[in-house]
Amino acid sequence: MRSKDNFKRFHVLTLMSVASIILIFSLGYLFYNTLSKNLLGSSRQFLGKQVEIASNEVQRRFNTLYEDLTYYTASLEGFYDVSNKEKVRSSRTRQLLNSYGDLVDTLFVKVDDKTWAYYLRDNNYFEKVQIEEDRTFSDPRRFIKVKSDLDPIMVIAAVNLDGFLDHYTSNHYLGEGGYKFYLYGENAYPLGEKDRSSGLSLSPNLWGEMQNEYLGGLRGVYEGDIIRIAEDGEKERLKTIVAQYPFSLFPLEGKFAIVFAQDQKIIISRLYNTYFLLFAGLFALLILVIYLLIKHGISIDDKHVELEKKSLEINRLFEQQTMLLQETNGFVYYHDASGKVNNVSENVTSVLGFTVEEFLENNKSQIVDRDLEKLQEKARKAIDSRNDYLSFEVSFVKKDGTIIRAKNFERLFYDQEGQFLSSVGICTDITEKYLAERELIKSENRLRSVLNSLPDIIFIYDNQGVYLDYYVQETDMLIGAPELSLGRHIKDIIPPPYGEKMENALIRASKTSKVQTEQMTLDLPSGKKFLEIRFFKLDDERMISVGRDVTEQKLWEKGLKEAMEVAEGANRAKSEFLASMSHEIRTPMNGLLGMIGLLEYTTLDEEQESIVKVIKDSGESLLVIIKDILDYSKIEEGKLELELSNSKFREELNKVINIFSGMVVGKELSLNLNISPIIPQWLILDNEKLSQILFNIIGNAVKFTPKGGDVSIKVSGEPILDKNFMLYFNVKDTGVGIPKSKIDQLINPFTQAGRGTAEEKSGSGLGLAIANKLIELMGGSLQIESEVGKGSEFSFTIFSRISDSEEIVGQDEYEKYAREEYKLSHISDKFPKEILLAEDNDINLKFMKLLMKQLGYSVDAVSTGEEAVKAVRQKRYDMIFMDYQMPVMDGLEASREIKKMKEGKSVRIIGLSANVFKEDIERAFEAGMDDYLTKPIKIQDVVMKIKESSGMNV
């Protein structure tokens, strides 16, 4: 990134430099061009001006000379032949020569045919010479002739035109490379001795160009070549700027012009000399600036980038270190050359509890000895082999005495000779990880040993179902050798359709983390086998399956299921049969017993009385059996519910025991009751059912214990949780005992020990079955221990709650009425009532009618519900004794109808039912019945209900 940037920057700089160089060059060239043009231009002007000035001067001088010559000539008139006038003439001539020494070297005066020549010698000595020969003075460049108009006098001035022009142009300095010419007629003559001798000439081109203008009297400036013959004799062409100014020198004939020229090269060379250094300097400066810029720019950039990178790196490292130290609970320490810790960061306090000073003082005493030795050995080895790094784990004893595990990482420094100098290290607390790892290792080992000891077939897989490991004790249940499955997929090993099923279960277990159970049937060499396989997660990466042979269980279950289905079916049918049968028997039995009850009140002789008694006893015991059957079948159907009430436990218990007192006396048995004092006075339980249980069990003990035997009853218990109380009952007798083989079956209905004795014959084999069911219903269980000939022991528990109320909820009221003395015939007198009987069963109807008659009532009777409703509509009744079950309209519905009627509102309806279950009673009240009586109807019950309806019990 950085080098790319740099490259880019370098590129831009180079481009910029090249551009600026080109710019400078272009500028330089332009500047140079303009300057040189300017210079040449000004040179042209300069030359034009100079040549004009020079020409004008020459012309002026020449004109003056001519005028003076004219004047001189005129002054000679009249003197030409007078010799004594010679003196005057000479002085004048001398004056003229002196004045025009630059122009005129000899002055000739021709008088007639005599000619005198006057000139000044070098020493300025004036000479006059008469010239004999006849001279023509024909050279137009050399002689100016002035003739006197009056006398034959002619003055001829010999002009040194070259010298004159040399002289007059010499003041005009053209500098180096400047050349001067004058033109006369067809020729150009160099001015100056040196140039004349060097054979300087105008190039024909230049001359051709110039000539026309000069001859036409026009001035001009030109560029053209001048030819010079160098010292070695070679011709040299010089490029020049040339200016010419034409003029005439009267009276000389023809055109003159002065020409000034300057060598262009030299003009420009001046510029070149002046500006070259400037340019070179500027250029050099530019190059230097560019060079510095590039170099500096890049290096600055490099340094900047490098610096930035380093500072970021340092920041990052610093942050990381701080974070790491905080997060990992660590500190930094420094060792000197001797291996002593000479500095430590403040974090040491949070890690080890020691302050920095304490840590430095105690130095290594915080490291557990065993680790310290190992560490020193390791450090020595690292230093000996000049290692740069050293890492190790040690246990530290913290200030508070606890031990932590720490991981250390050290950087070791050496001098040039390889001597250990110092080291810096980071120490982090890894206790948690260390313990977790140790625990993991332990648990892995535990798991391994557990898996190895299990009889099950265990396989370990990855999350996709590839076999990783196995723990198999016996290979009978396997499809192949377990080691062959490793690395292969479950679907490749287990044949279809189970392979896919197993794979799905494994994946389900892996996703849901819940145990997944699958079953499969395999045809193995050992036969058809049922396997149950459970898949569950071992850890995040591995799954485990536990397979078990359930062949036997399967077969057993199959048998059991079938058996159970049969038994359940039979049982249900039996219960239903028993229930309806007992109901059917009860109805006529009620009538029978009612009749017998009435018979007892008639006048009977002794024999008749004893017969009636037998009939009555048999009837009653038959009724008990029927009741038992009904109870048992109800229990079986699950229709029996507990009816809890608060009562004094001991009193209730004594009532039951008292029932047997007569029998006990008759058989000379000793009956002991032992109630533990731990049992609270008030307990909440279903007293009626407990009485029934005790009645059955104690009844058996009394029944099957021969004369003179012992029956002992022990009751104890213990409080369980909060206000619950578990009661323990133990009924022990010294009776005939029960054969071992029969004990387990006694709780089944209709089972007896099979002795066939009179005692047995009097029972139905239902008592214990009912007792057992009731015990279970009350939260307990029954145990039977017995030995034939020695006696039996029945133990059971039931569950109750401790009551904190003093209230008695019982049937004391009932007893009060029951005990009250009464005279049957006086009842109707005391409680006059209009009574209706609704009963479909003839015997029952007769019994009720007789009963009412005995009480002194004459009653109306109907045999259906409909008739009852009709009767109420026609007559006002105080009470209706209404049977539950009647054809057409039953008692419940009739009650409902009656209670709806205006006339029926005040009628008290007493239901009569063979059913004693709670739901029957509830149904009766719902239908509008005010009370109920359970069949068989007893006279006392009817009397009580009549009394109650007259407000006696309110």
Q: Using the structure block, give the residue that is written with the tokens 């005692």.
A: 759
Residue where the block lists tokens 């029926």: 904
Per DSSP, helices labelled H in 400-541 are: 431-453, 490-493, 498-512
- Min dist CB 634 to ligand ADP, Å, is 17
Residue 846 identity (one-letter amino acid): K
- Residue 851: φ, ψ to 5°: -60, -45
* Closer Cβ to ligand ADP, 683 or 766, answer by number: 766
For ligand ADP, the closer of residues 216 and 754 by Cβ is 754
What 3-state class would DSSP assign to 877?
A: coil
DSSP state letter for 826: G
Q: Smallest gap, in angstroms, from Cβ of residue 628 to ligand ADP? A: 8
User: What are the backbone dihedrals phi and psi of residue 259, each rounded to the nearest 5 degrees, phi first?
Assistant: -120, 125
Residue nearer to ligand ADP on the CB measure, 427 or 775: 775
Shortest reach from residue 925's CB to ligand ADP, in Å: 34
Nearer Cβ to ligand ADP, position 106 or 700?
700
Contacts of 163 (CB under 8 A, 6+ apart): 102, 103, 105
Question: Which residues in this chain contact ligand ADP in the complex, by CB under 6 A?
Answer: 696, 700-701, 704, 733, 735-738, 746, 752-753, 760, 763-769, 792
Q: Which is nearer to ligand ADP, 738 or 855 (CB)?
A: 738
Task: Provide the minimum distance between the beta carbon of 790 and ligand ADP in the complex, in angstroms, as a whole number.
Answer: 10
Give the DSSP letter of residue 353.
S
Beta carbon of residue 758, minimum distance to ligand ADP (angstroms, whole number): 11
Angle at CA of residue 329, ends 326 and 331, nearest 5°:
85
CB of 575 to ligand ADP, least distance (A): 17
Q: Report the distance separating Cα 48 and Cα 241, nearest Å.
A: 10
Q: Is 208 buried (19+), middle (13-18) or exposed (0-12) by CB count in 10 A?
A: exposed
Q: How far is the CB of 496 from ligand ADP (least distance, A)?
A: 57
Least spacing, CB of residue 692 vs ligand ADP, in Å: 12
DSSP calls for 362-377 = HGGGGB-HHHHHHHHH
Shortest Å, Cβ 766 to ligand ADP: 6
Q: Smallest distance from the beta carbon of 771 to ligand ADP, in angstroms?
A: 7
User: Which one, of 634, 617, 741, 736, lies nearest residue 692 by Cα?
Assistant: 634
Q: Give the residue with the Cβ less far from ligand ADP, 590 or 734.
A: 734
- CA atoms in the 13 A half-sphere facing the CB of 919: 4
Tell me how far, at minimum, the Cβ of 710 lies from ligand ADP, in Å. 12
Cβ-based nearer residue to ligand ADP, 426 or 623: 623
Select 785 or 920, whichever has its Cβ closest to ligand ADP: 785
Give the end-to-end CA distance of the chain in Å, rounded to a whole number: 107
Q: Tell me whether residue 736 or residue 944 sits nearer to ligand ADP (CB atom).
A: 736
3-state secondary structure 81-113: CCHHHHHHHHHHHHHHHHHCCCCEEEEEEEECC
Radius of gyration of the chain (CA): 79
**467-471 and 457-462 strand pairing:** antiparallel
User: DSSP state, 888?
Assistant: S
Write down the least CB distance from residue 632 to ligand ADP, Å: 10
Q: Are 937 and 848 in contact (CB under 8 A)?
A: yes
Nearer to ligand ADP, 265 or 740 (CB): 740
Q: Which is nearer to ligand ADP, 763 or 928 (CB)?
A: 763
Rounded Cα gap, residues 421 and 423, in angstroms: 7
Are the C-beta atoms of 685 and 724 separated by less than 8 Å? no
Residue nearest to ligand ADP (CB): 763
Contact (Cβ atoms closer than 8 angstroms) between residue 884 and residue 921: no
- Pick the closer one to ligand ADP by CB: 180 or 689: 689
Q: Which is nearer to ligand ADP, 166 or 733 (CB)?
A: 733
| Extended strands (E) in 345-494 | 389-397, 403-414, 420-429, 457-462, 467-471
Cβ 794 to ligand ADP shortest distance, Å: 7
Q: How many other C-beta atoms are found inside a 10 Å radius of the C-beta of residue 559?
A: 10
Q: Which of 243, 220, 211, 246 is nearest to 43 (CA)?
A: 243
Say how far apart CA 927 and CA 304 lie, in whole Å.
103
